[in-house]
Amino acid sequence: MRVWAPLLALLLWPIATLAGEFFTLEGHGGPIKGIAVSPDGQRVLTASFDNALGLWSGRIPTWLDGHEAAVNTVAFVDDMRAVSGGDDFAVRLWDLETGTSQELGRHKGKVMSVRVSPDQQLVASASWDGTIGLWSLDGNAPRFIDVGSNVNDVAFSAAGNLLFAGASDGKIRIYEVATGNLHQLFLSNGFGVNTLVLNETAGWLAFGAVDGATKVVDAKTAELIKDVTLERRPILAMALDRQGQHLAVGDGEGYILLLNTQDWSIANDFRATHRGPIWALAFSADGENIHAGGLDDSLFSWPLSDQADVPRMVEQDRAFLNGNDSASNGERQFQRKCSICHTLTGDSARRAGPSLKDLFGRRAGAVADYSYSDTLQTSDIVWSAQTIDALFDLGPDVYIAGTKMPVQRIARAEDRADLIEFLRTYSDIKDD
C-alpha cells in the first residue's frame, strides 16, 4: 500500500515536536487506562483495556504484548525501560529497545498503579489485594506491605525512604520503604482515595477521591492548603507537569481541571469527553500539552497555550459508548456492556475480548486471532441463547470461574433477551 509522503512524515513525526498542538494517538482496541512520558520527552507509553501497551515516538505505535488482561498503569524507569501493571495481577518490566518483558511477580488482585523510586532501583505497586508490592530492579526478592484495604495509588518521597499510599477506606498512610512499617496515618478523607500527587519541594500533597474531593494539603502536617472540590465525582486521575506549574485533575464526568500551583487558582476547566470518565493524565515533557485517556480507544492531547480552541476540540462526541436515539435496546445493551471489549466484525481488532460475530453455535475459546485464558480454552461451553443469558445473569466470574472477562451482569431478563436477539443478527446461525 502506498502512503502519501507528507502523511507518512506526519505519522513518523516525533511526539516532542507536536507540543502546543492538538493531536490524537489512535490504534488501541479499548479504553486508555494509563499514560506515561519518557524522561527525554521523545516517547509516550499508553496502557489499555485491550491488554497491550502502545509505545509512541510518532503516530505509529509499537505494540507491547505480555499482559493477560487489561493494563491499568504504566511508568518509565528510564528512557529504555518501563514497568506496568494490570487486571492480570502482574507487574511487568519492559525492555523498550527489544519490546520484550519479564514478569517481576504478581499480586492477588488487580494492580492499579506503579511508581518508580527516585533512584530508579525500586518499583512500588498499588493493588486491590490490599497490599503494596515493592519490586527490586536489581534482582532481589519482592516484598509486600499489608495495608488492609484496596490500594489505589502510591507516591515515593523525594528521598525514596517513605511511601504515601491512598486506599479505598479513605485513608492516606505513610510507610517506611526499608522496613515496610507504618510510619504515620497521614489523614482520613472518609471516602476512598483514588489518586495522589506529591511535591515535597513545594511542600504539598494533592489527592482526589471517590466523593469528588480534590484537596491540597501540607506534605508534613496534612493541614489543608486548598480545597478545589467541584460537584463532579469521582476523581480518577491527577498529573503534575515537570515544571511544577500546573496540576491536572480528571474526573468521572469527563472534565479536566487545570490548576495553577502558585496560588491554586483555576487555569482552565473543560470537558474533554462528551460522556465517560478521564482515567489517565500526563503532561508533555515541556508542559505545553496535557495528554488524556478515557473510554475512547485514543489518546487526546490538548495544548495549554491556545485555550480558545478547547471548546471546538471537545464539542464532538468522542465517547467510546456513543449510542443513538434510534438504536434498539439490544444494540444499546451491546454498546454499554460489550463494545469496549468486543467487535462485531470478523476480527478481534486488538480488543480485550474476541469478536462476537457468528457467536451462536461457536465453542467458547474458538476465535483464532484471540488469546484466551486457560479456563476458556478448556471449556465445553457452546454459545447459545441459553448460555449467553446465563453468562450475563450470573456474571462471568460465577458462570466461568477463572475467566479474565470483567465482572459484568445484566440484571433485567428483558435486557438480556434483547441483547441476545441483537447478537443473533450478526450470526449465520439464527436458531439454537
Residue 7 lies in a domain: no
Tell me the pLDDT of the chain (432 aa) as tens digits.
Answer: 344 444 444 455 677 766 678 999 999 988 999 999 999 999 999 999 999 999 999 889 999 999 999 999 999 999 999 999 999 999 999 999 999 999 999 999 999 999 999 999 999 999 999 999 999 999 899 999 999 999 999 999 999 999 999 999 999 999 999 999 999 999 999 999 999 999 999 999 999 999 999 999 999 999 999 999 998 999 999 999 999 999 999 999 999 999 999 999 999 999 987 678 999 999 999 999 999 999 888 999 999 986 555 543 343 333 334 444 567 988 878 877 787 778 888 776 677 788 888 888 888 888 888 777 777 778 888 988 888 888 888 877 778 876 766 666 788 888 888 888 888 988 887 665
Residue 8 lies in a domain: no
Q: Which of 263, 285, 314 is the last residue of a domain?
A: 314
Instruction: Return the pLDDT at 277.
Output: 93
- The separation between CA 166 and the C-alpha centre of its own chain, rounded to angstroms, equals 17
Domain identity same for 248 and 360: no
Domain identity same for 299 and 335: no
Q: Which of 260, 289, 314 is the last residue of a domain?
A: 314
Residue 4 lies in a domain: no
Instruction: Return the pLDDT at 343.
Output: 84
Domain identity same for 357 and 210: no
Domain identity same for 232 and 157: yes
- HSE-CB for 385 with a 13 A CA cutoff: 14
Number of domains in the chain: 2
- HSE-CB for 137 with a 13 A CA cutoff: 21
Instruction: Return the pLDDT at 192.
Output: 97
List the CATH number of the domain containing 148: 2.130.10.10
Instruction: Return the pLDDT at 290.
Output: 97
List the CATH number of the domain containing 390: 1.10.760.10
Instruction: Return the pLDDT at 430.
Output: 62
Residue 3 lies in a domain: no
Domain identity same for 123 and 261: yes
Q: How far apart are the first and last CA of the chain?
A: 42
Domain identity same for 102 and 189: yes
Reported as type and span, the H/E element at residue 152 is strand 151-156
Q: What pTM did the predictor assign? A: 0.81
Task: Please state, in angstroms and as integers, the Cα–Cα distance from residue 208 to each residue in 7, 192, 233, 238, 298, following that order.
Answer: 40, 9, 9, 8, 24
Range of the structural domain that residue 370 is part of: 329-424
Characterize the bridge pairing of strands 90-95 and 100-106: antiparallel
Beta-carbon contacts of residue 141 (< 8 Å; ≥ 6 apart): none
Q: Which of 273, 290, 314 is the last residue of a domain?
A: 314
